[in-house]
A and B are shown apart, each in its own frame.
Chain A
Amino acid sequence: MDDMYREQILEHSKHPHNFGTLEEPSVSREEFNPLCGDRVRMDLQITDGVITDVRFSGRGCAISQASASLLTDELRGMKVEDAKVYRKEDLLELIGIPLAKNPVRLKCALLSLKALKAGLYGVGHIHDDDEEE
């Protein structure tokens, strides 16, 4: 457990980066975790195929908030094409805590990525299986 609440996670969850919403986002998407009722919304500003600004909002556990905070840092300046194929492994590596054997917390960690992908692909529903394995 103490593994899970490293300084970085606590820091990002207490003081998340890019928290809030955008006035007129190019893409805005909220995803919901039916297991615990948490939600994360991602707002993206896209200019010429590049993510120029990004915010997230919502509520959730330290893992989901820290993960969203870390992801938004990554996304700023990223090409949309790259963001579309951003791998969950990369996000998990950023988070840096062992979640592979913890399917419940994995869902928390990947909620922001799910919102990003669903927003960028404009699909109605990204099936949960995409995040499990």
Chain B
Amino acid sequence: MATLSTFDVLALRREFPILQQQVNGKPLAFLDSGASSQKPRCVIEALDDYYRRYNANVHRGVYKLSEEATFAYERARGKVARFIGASSKREVIFTRNTTEAINLVAYAWGGANIRAGDRILLTMMEHHSNIVPWQMLAQRTGATLDYIGIDAEGRLCLDDLEQKLTPGVKLLAVTQQSNVLGTINPVALLAERAHAVGAKILIDGAQSVPHMPVDVRALGCDFLAFSGHKMCGPTGIGVLWARREILEAMPPFLGGGSMIEVVDLESSTYAGVPARFEAGTPAIGEAIALGEACDFLAGIGMDSIFQHEQELLGHALDRLASVEGLHIIGPHTTEQRGAALSFTLEGVHPHDVAAILDGEGVAVRAGHHCTQPLHRFYDVPATTRASFYIYNTAEEVDRLAAGLEKARKLFQ
């Protein structure tokens, strides 16, 4: 069994109340953090504390509770900004999730900057969240979409990139880590290339921000979108980060309260950033709890988290290689690869694999994981995915492998 030396995973697990339970009479091995992670006590308590002690709307009241809520909400913005290396907390916009963050860019920035004939470049490994908003923008504007291809191992084809990333491309939207393949894309390099042809770059950080150090200034990107719920935070809160100059020049997304300066009967003037992009009452408690999640992850250290997951991934790649008829979709080594492992098992449908694993207390996901084009590329309707996080252990990887052996035998 691999030894996981980077940090005390058993102590860490105790911080996650949900992991203390049994499922189908077996201890829960939660291997679906790629879909949504579990929450540590401190995050649950932050939510609870807000609702119990100082629940009030933000930016509106002059009374004590509202001031306290506003202070905590804005402090959370600062924590998020620090967590991703933003130069100013004004660059952090709270959204519902990654999907809403990307749609915000597609409507507000896209509406103002994309014209008929412009090109938007994506990749073959994008989540539907980073495809459909651009298709809708292209339909509204007459822009066209193009996709950078991938090779059999699931790496971006850099030759294809050179071919397609040419003047006329206005935006490159790419995931930093594939939620299916685990592939980590060289986004700093992509940012440089995009800028060289005058394009902006949006990074889908849904699968990277929770798992590795991400510094927006070091990456040199223009937009970064991610979700709180995949990084130990609550659902209902996500983030769009964008460079200040871009935000300042962007028209609003949704109209309503909080995003205005002066409202007349015919028209209004809009607030500055980030308020201009946060119409209506935000998810206050959730934002505060996300700030807490950032502190929690930073306290462990994103380098240590990445290292821990690399060790789990290495162990999983070894163990799964010995399961007969199992085919991994994505890179077969840990190099530039995160800990999301998708695979097919000959003769057993992914739903059946997941149901059999569930019987062993092992929670994995089966389906197309919101990446139909990618699954079509590999010519499989669905895969099973195990995805690992800070609280997973080598022993859980072993239980995954044992469950897969069981599934294979059952369907022999």
Residues 8-49 of A, flagged 1 when their CB comes within 8 A of B and 0 if not, give: 001000100000000000000000000111110000000000
Whether B355 pairs with A36 at a CB distance below 8 angstroms is no
Q: Does any Cβ of B come within 8 Å of A61's Cβ?
A: yes
Per the 8 Å Cβ criterion, residues 54-94 of A in contact with B are 59-64
> Which residues of B are found within 8 Å of A63, using beta-carbon distances?
351-352
The docked-state distance in angstroms from the alpha carbon of A13 to that of B30 is: 28
Whether A37 pairs with B366 at a CB distance below 8 angstroms is no
Whether A1 pairs with B375 at a CB distance below 8 angstroms is no
Whether B382 pairs with A36 at a CB distance below 8 angstroms is yes
The docked-state distance in angstroms from the alpha carbon of A59 to that of B352 is: 13
Contact (A14, B355) CB under 8 Å given A36-B366, A37-B367, A60-B349: no
> Which residues of B are found within 8 Å of A121, using beta-carbon distances?
none
Query: How far does the Cβ of A102 sit from chain B's closest Cβ, in whole Å?
Result: 9
Whether A37 pairs with B411 at a CB distance below 8 angstroms is no
Residues 116-128 of A, flagged 1 when their CB comes within 8 A of B and 0 if not, give: 0000000000000
Whether A36 pairs with B367 at a CB distance below 8 angstroms is yes
Whether B382 pairs with A5 at a CB distance below 8 angstroms is no
Residues 60-77 of B, flagged 1 when their CB comes within 8 A of A and 0 if not, give: 000000000000000000
Q: Does any Cβ of B come within 8 Å of A4's Cβ?
A: yes
Name, among A2, A4, A37, the residue most crowded by chain B CB atoms within 10 Å (CB to CB). Answer: A37
Q: Does any Cβ of B come within 8 Å of A95's Cβ?
A: no
> Which residues of A are found within 8 Å of B24, using beta-carbon distances?
1
Query: How far does the Cβ of A13 sit from chain B's closest Cβ, in whole Å?
Result: 8
Residues 379-412 of B, flagged 1 when their CB comes within 8 A of A and 0 if not, give: 0011000000000000000000000000000110
The docked-state distance in angstroms from the alpha carbon of A63 to that of B349 is: 10
Write 21 A-B pairs (CB below 8 A) sorted by A numbering. Answer: A1-B355, A1-B356, A1-B359, A2-B359, A4-B359, A5-B352, A36-B366, A36-B381, A37-B367, A37-B375, A38-B351, A60-B349, A60-B351, A61-B350, A61-B355, A62-B349, A62-B351, A63-B351, A63-B352, A105-B355, A108-B351
Query: How far does the Cβ of B375 sit from chain A's closest Cβ, in whole Å?
Result: 7
Report how many residues on chain B are interfacial, defined by Cβ distance under 8 Å.
Answer: 19
Inter-chain pairs besides A10-B411, A37-B382, A62-B351, 13 sampled, C-beta below 8 Å: A1-B355, A1-B360, A4-B355, A5-B352, A5-B356, A14-B411, A36-B382, A38-B349, A59-B381, A60-B349, A61-B350, A62-B411, A105-B355
A residues contacting B by CB (< 8 A) are: 1-2, 4-5, 10, 14, 35-39, 59-64, 104-105, 108
Whether B411 pairs with A61 at a CB distance below 8 angstroms is no
> Which residues of B are found within 8 Å of A35, using beta-carbon distances?
367
Whether A61 pairs with B352 at a CB distance below 8 angstroms is yes
Query: How far does the Cβ of A32 sit from chain B's closest Cβ, in whole Å?
Result: 10
Whether A1 pairs with B351 at a CB distance below 8 angstroms is no
Name which residue of chain A comes closest to B412, CB basis.
A14
A-B contact count (CB 8 A): 55
Name, among A2, A60, A62, A108, the residue most crowded by chain B CB atoms within 10 Å (CB to CB). Answer: A62
Q: Does any Cβ of A come within 8 Å of B292's Cβ?
A: no
The 7 A-B pairs of least Cβ separation, nearest first, read: A1-B359, A61-B351, A37-B381, A61-B349, A36-B367, A36-B382, A62-B352
Contact (A10, B410) CB under 8 Å given A1-B359, A59-B381, A62-B349: yes
> Which residues of A are found within 8 Å of B358, using beta-carbon distances?
1
Query: How far does the Cβ of A56 sit from chain B's closest Cβ, in whole Å?
Result: 15
Per the 8 Å Cβ criterion, residues 267-307 of B in contact with A are none
The docked-state distance in angstroms from the alpha carbon of A36 to that of B352 is: 12
Q: Does any Cβ of A come within 8 Å of B99's Cβ?
A: no
> Which residues of A are found within 8 Å of B411, using beta-carbon distances?
10, 14, 62
Name which residue of chain A comes closest to B347, CB basis.
A14
Query: How far does the Cβ of B324 sit from chain A's closest Cβ, in whole Å?
Result: 17
| CB contact between B381 and one of A5, A38, A105 (< 8 Å): that residue | A38
> Which residues of A are found within 8 Å of B349, using beta-carbon distances?
38, 59-62
The docked-state distance in angstroms from the alpha carbon of A10 to that of B352 is: 11
The docked-state distance in angstroms from the alpha carbon of A63 to that of B356 is: 12
Name which residue of chain B comes closest to A108, CB basis.
B351
Residues 209-250 of B, flagged 1 when their CB comes within 8 A of A and 0 if not, give: 000000000000000000000000000000000000000000
Query: How far does the Cβ of B297 sit from chain A's closest Cβ, in whole Å?
Result: 30
> Which residues of A are found within 8 Å of B119, using beta-carbon distances?
none
Name, among A5, A63, A64, the residue most crowded by chain B CB atoms within 10 Å (CB to CB). Answer: A5
Query: How far does the Cβ of A7 sit from chain B's closest Cβ, in whole Å?
Result: 11
Whether B368 pairs with A37 at a CB distance below 8 angstroms is yes
Query: How far does the Cβ of A6 sit from chain B's closest Cβ, in whole Å?
Result: 11
